[in-house]
Chains A and B, each alone.
Chain A
């Protein structure tokens, strides 16, 4: 019993919208993963799915939350963070991943290793550094570096892929900035706003290469150009927001 409580908890939060056909495989895979010294927990946020995503997640035994209305991925990620922080202690790690099966659970340990090596608050997965990036869709190849470059210039980070949804956070760091979760103005374009606010709060970022898998089923709900315009909107709104400027003074 004592050994279990001494273990560091790694809480994986997954946001899912109509991912009944993909989610089961991810949750089953996560159950088999063993990381020395760590105890794995999974939080699934069902973002208003009309299929059996919620029921499936509960059946498999993940901590499951449900948005009764589809709010968009960013909102689901924030709900996941809030739920994860309820069960986390300061030494724990919270890892965010997508529910579409493109993020490989086998790569979880890379994030933890990188976090320990560089004492980073956040470790971001980079699809660009991954070996299979050559096969990425045209729009992603064209626009991803542009958006990342803009965010890097504004935050001072040196990321190659700011938009990747596979990220790890120190629970203690997330606890420090948890007050901004409700201040987010454009959570549907979370990455841009999150990095702006987190850099303002002084959190550090490292990066690991990840290898994106093809979706085994269904379709992505994001249009890359529209998403990019939303990112720009989020950046402008954040800069105009008073709570963003007060972050640095805390």
Chain B
């Protein structure tokens, strides 16, 4: 195992990334799913930097001659997973927003309807009190 400055830099960056992810989770800024995904990503980068032979082993398992191609493929798959996850979250948020806007519209309408009914009933009461 040959440790170069770049290896140390990559490992440090990955640890910093993992620490920041866990920190955000602790502050409840991100959910458990995102935390697991991002922590996993950072750890893979860190381990891959320190033990490049592991990447070599997995690239052979995936029947890829070049280690770089394997890393690119993993990164691409991870990006697809992230885009899908973001898209699903956006969809869910849009639906929640739409429901909220509809509920506000209905509530406003009911309140205004109630006010009108009260106004008209108080008007009736006033007129009935008039001698």
Residues of A within 8 A of B (CB): 45, 63-69, 71, 75, 78-79, 82-83, 86, 182, 185, 187
Contact = CB atoms under 8 A, between A and B. Distances in A.
B109 A83 contact: yes
A66 B99 CA distance: 13
Nearest to B95: A185
B97 A69 contact: yes
A182 B99 contact: yes
A65 B109 contact: yes
Contacts of A67: 101-102, 105
A65 B101 contact: no
A68 B109 contact: no
A63 B109 contact: yes
B106 A68 contact: no
B8 interface: no
A79 B97 contact: no
15 contacts: A63-B113, A65-B105, A65-B108, A66-B105, A66-B108, A67-B101, A67-B105, A68-B104, A68-B105, A75-B102, A79-B105, A82-B102, A82-B106, A182-B99, A187-B98
Interface string B96-131: 011101101110111001000000000000000000
Interface residues of B, number: 13
A79 B104 contact: no
Contacts of A78: 102
Nearest to B105: A65
A75 B99 CA distance: 9
Contact of B98 (A45, A64, A71, A83): A71
Given A45-B105, A65-B108, A69-B101, 13 more contacts: A63-B109, A64-B109, A65-B105, A65-B109, A67-B101, A67-B105, A68-B104, A68-B105, A71-B98, A75-B102, A79-B102, A82-B102, A82-B106
B119 to A, nearest CB: 15
Nearest to B107: A65
Interface string B52-95: 00000000000000000000000000000000000000000001
Contacts of A69: 97, 101
Which among B97, B102, B104, B108 has the greatest number of chain A C-beta atoms within 10 A?
B102
Contacts of B101: 67-69, 71, 75
Nearest to B100: A69
A83 B110 CA distance: 9
Nearest to A63: B109
Contacts of A82: 102, 106
A179 B53 CA distance: 57
Sorted from nearest, which 10 A-B pairs have the closest CB atoms? Answer: A65-B105, A65-B109, A79-B102, A67-B101, A69-B101, A71-B98, A67-B105, A75-B98, A79-B105, A66-B105
B126 to A, nearest CB: 21
A69 B102 CA distance: 9
A170 B114 CA distance: 26
Contacts of A45: 105
Contacts of B109: 63-65, 83
A237 to B, nearest CB: 10
